Structure 1
Amino acid sequence: MAEKSYFWPDVNGDREYTDEDIARLIGYFVGTGIHPTEDQCLHVTPGTGLSVVVNTGRACIEGKGYDNTAPLTLTLPTASGSLPRTDAVVIRRDKATREIHAVILTGTPSSSAPPPSIVRNNEYYDLKIAEIKVVAGATSITQADIKDTRLDSSVCGISVGVLQQVEADSVLDQYTAIFEQWFENLENTLDENQATNLQNNINKLEEKSLSVKTNLTTEDLDDIQTTGIYIQNYTSNATTDRHYPVKASGCLMCVFAEGKAYQYYICQNEGCIWMRRYNSKIWSDWEQIYPSVTSGSNDRGTWIKYPDGTMICSIRRTDQVIETDGIVVTFPQEFADNNYTAVVNVARPYDMVACADCNYTATTNVWFYNLDGSSTAWKMVTYTMIAIGRWK
């Protein structure tokens, strides 16, 4: 039948409808994606050990509804001992079981660690809400390991009314939370004049109507001088020649008044905030205003990340090593590429060379060798390593 209309009163069984008919009708009014409700919109956060938590929220998949009314813990498979991988958290519609559930898709360990592909066919339909970076030997997950993909319309996206656009505050919950948390700490990071100036800009932003552009694509940020909030969903569009501060998806807030403008860019995954000014028809350089420097540690060592992209990793360990083979050392954080420099100092045993050679072939680990030992037996080796490269 090429044409079909519904719903009509049934007369002797001549107007029978299925669940697919109902779902199709719902799809006329509600798009597929995450519902921008007042809850946490299925935000994924770290759990205990190798687990993540899918927080409360709702979704719609081709007319089928999904509700998660309490935090849901999902356990990840054991990490590889030598290679990283990327897992994905999806909301999956399963026609065979007639259910929708949150599911972990396990990636394949490799040096590049690509994320697993989502499934969308007649049986399954996936909404990818997060990617999880599982480094080699990981025993826990941090917030830095979680990439939020809810606003990426190619794999998830926001469910909005087909006949009405979504409210700005609903779409931007994750950005607003980052911005408000940062602003609460301004007294410790900004002087009085800077804090007052930023507050005045926020007040101006609140006084004006906000326009949400969920499909910001290839626009040059130099040309955006209208007060409002703008969304860039795709990292590939956020290029320096379009005057983005970093190559990252995120949210742009612009305040324009009396011939002057301020832009604040909030990166989606890192949570960092950049700011620049427009005056006398010239834009200033971008300045990262939060956080200025980040650092952390895990069972593999410590790291410091600087706003310009520099990262320094420090490792001190004692491992069992065969002198003739060397050892593979996993960094506490992955580098953006293999153009880093690593210096290894072997403290014990004393008959080994003080500085070993390194093989720079992976972003997650480095192999050091030439220990000046000929033994094929295992020995306990105490060493320190400093690696300097880029995290972005």
Structure 2
Amino acid sequence: MAELSRFFNDVEGDERNYQANDFAQFFTNFLGNGFFNGLGVSAENTTNTIIAPGSAFIEGHEYTNTSSLTLVHDSADSTNDRIDRVVLRLNRDIDVRRINAFIKKGENGSDPEPPELTRNDYVYELSLAQVKIEAGKSYIDSSQITDERGDIDLCGRVSNPEKITDQIGRVDIKRPDQRASDYIRGHSVFYIHGEDHTNLLKEWLDSVGFNPGDVGRELTNIRVYVETVASRADTGTQTVTVFDRSRQYDFQIYGRFHRTSNAGFITVTDWGKWHEEVLIYEQGENENGEYIRYTDGTQKCWGVPFALTTTRPTGPLYRDVEIWTFPVPFVNTKGLIVTGDVRSFDRWVSMTSLSRTSVNINAVGTSHSESAWDVYVQAEGRWRR
């Protein structure tokens, strides 16, 4: 049958009969496999493990454990360890038709592995925990239990099913000029990359004012994650995260931007302007001092203190000079400000010969002195345009 529609009441001459599998298929449209709550596995210093009350969802079928459930593990081998798993098993065989918790016993060995989960047309298993059965040990304690409920490949929390989330980057994407009312009510996300949506990716980057070339990357290296909360009409908040696709670049975050919209009594409202959340892009230190680069392009540098005298006569004053090479270069000298401080009432600091990579630090005084005083310097400008 090419089309299915359900569920409807019977009318005379037109019976509508539905199977449990019809309902299970329906529920998988909006609920993925996993646990809802509880179902933690604990030890009681015997060969038993205890499953706490809780509930789960497997392939459209609901499971609930209403009280603490005791499971008994087989005794340990005298020589080799083994790893058991505590699992929930959905069995759709016509003679079974239920979900049960049970122990899936592993194999003894010098380097044991947990048993594989069974997942086929009839049986589907979720792992709640691994339990290491140590050789020669007559009881199980908490150190032998590894909780696996949080692993989405083995169990995970019930959430949107893959049939929904797999389409986020293909179907639910929007343009940056679309208003909050164009988004679904509540929370929504989508992901954009250059291979499938080159022009759209560029639109979003242009919207927030980010140029991949400023960080030495190509458009195809960049990804954008858009998260939106829309409540009604054109009211909502939106966050855009721009990051690198490459593990080599540690999936570097290049910027995070926020904007809001509030309909009020106006029927049509566009988004407000973007506000950048300034994050640390890079930081470090070397023999020339310390530096921090921020995602908005700002760069700050602090030099290692210079010990300077005032022994060189310059007219009626005396000075000393040292070249400070910045820990990392600035992109240019536009807006680059270098300041210094010397802890003395009759000396001060001036800067000359400023470039994007270095500056001359001058200690100036009113009298000749061979006593060296520490000069503290810092610089602030931009590491990218």
Q: TM-score, normalised by structure 2?
A: 0.43
Q: TM-score, normalised by structure 1?
A: 0.42
Structure ranking higher in helix proportion: 1
